[in-house]
A and B are shown apart, each in its own frame.
Chain A
């Protein structure tokens, strides 16, 4: 590994502390033709999620008689990384599609919609480490926006190990040259629906990382909730102004 220094006086390369998230921006209902949608920026990551359904399943043989199936397509745009990526699905995006779907499946009440499908599309427009977590966050808000019954939202972020220190929400350089990366997704009640890790951590570091990531998720949950609530209260304010004229 190279000799770069990632942490100086407790401050990271981009000026964050160990337990600080990258700045987050979120917008709901950005796609007119989708049933639900959400655009999200987590640091330099830019993702957009679209939800369609419940709708009829094609091809027919995938249909389940007693529940809705869920399809999740994670896709990176060819221009989303520094070196142009070959377009189309590859092994990595198949894996991320699967784990992301499984992160959301437990909260969706699929039994309400037999024989149907809920399609989730996540497009990564710009990538800077942590796109799967950004995708899950956006998809979860898009599902709510589509009016799909869920037990709760899902929030997701990663913790990593850089320079021997456990840090929250690693960015690209920290991810590439760090010692470990651990994305998780949880519900607000603390149930973990996704937990992956690569690299090496001791047991203590692992526990520390989970706690840190959980706190990050709670912060993201507050943002997700606020974005959804604000969407209609803002509208109501506009109406009030209109009627006061």
Chain B
């Protein structure tokens, strides 16, 4: 079996070269750091079943403005650490006085993590075509540990969802997912996403989800 559930301190291998994410090495042996699912490939890594989102450079996230300071928006990114969006990272040139016109407290944005320093100061940016302020659609929150499953191997799950569900989907690495489409499609999309969250640790999920969507469509006629 190449996948199994492990707890912190479980011995995974005696070959330190195979130590991957979620593991640690002690006395020439590899142990698990986390309670999660260990996958044994060339490298052994442990994917946690729970835990808080810790920002990393390049992650896409969905944030909610919780405060505005001089030249910065402070965003809640569903993490122990706040995200800072500097005025210069807004796609348009705007004045400090006008900040709350474009993004007020409570606004949601799709952003990217531009930098994280050792003191966990998280800088965000909106400078990309795919990023920006959320004006339509819905946002659903799942555990960030299930995001890799939602994306699937090489994006297989997410591209299937976009096609089958007729929706535009933006996945934040922090577990927030934006869905946009017509009302009926969005209803089904949110249900499907929550189903994936619940069953993320099971095998053969993509096929089952395809079936699920087809069933739901058929039931609706």
Contact B80 A116 (CB under 8 A): yes
Complex Cα distance, B35 from A151, in Å, reads 11
Least CB separation from B52: chain A residue: A54
Which of A36, A114, A152 is B120 in contact with, Cβ under 8 Å? A114
A113 at the interface (CB under 8 A from B): yes
- Mask, A43-58, CB within 8 Å of B = 1, is 0000000000111100
A225 at the interface (CB under 8 A from B): yes
Question: Is the beta-carbon distance between A146 and B9 smaller than 8 angstroms?
Answer: no
Q: In the complex, A86 Cα to B199 Cα: how many Å?
A: 46
- B residues 166-198 in Cβ contact with A at 8 Å: none
* Interface secondary structure of B, over-half rule: loop
A229: which of B7, B52, B145, B201 is its contact (CB, 8 Å)?
B7
Give 16 new A-B contacts, CB below 8 A, not counting A66-B118, A107-B9, A228-B5.
A54-B80, A65-B119, A114-B118, A115-B119, A144-B34, A144-B35, A147-B35, A147-B48, A147-B51, A148-B51, A151-B8, A151-B24, A188-B9, A228-B35, A232-B201, A239-B199
14 A-B pairs with C-beta separation under 8 A: A35-B51, A53-B80, A56-B81, A65-B119, A113-B54, A114-B119, A115-B120, A144-B8, A144-B34, A147-B48, A148-B51, A149-B22, A152-B9, A229-B5
Which chain B residues have a beta carbon within 8 Å of chain A's beta carbons?
5, 7-9, 22, 24, 26, 31, 33-36, 48-52, 54, 80-81, 118-120, 145, 199, 201-202, 208
Task: Across the A-B interface, give the 9 residue pairs with the lowest CB-CB distance, nearest first.
Answer: A147-B51, A152-B9, A147-B50, A150-B8, A144-B35, A149-B33, A147-B48, A116-B80, A54-B80
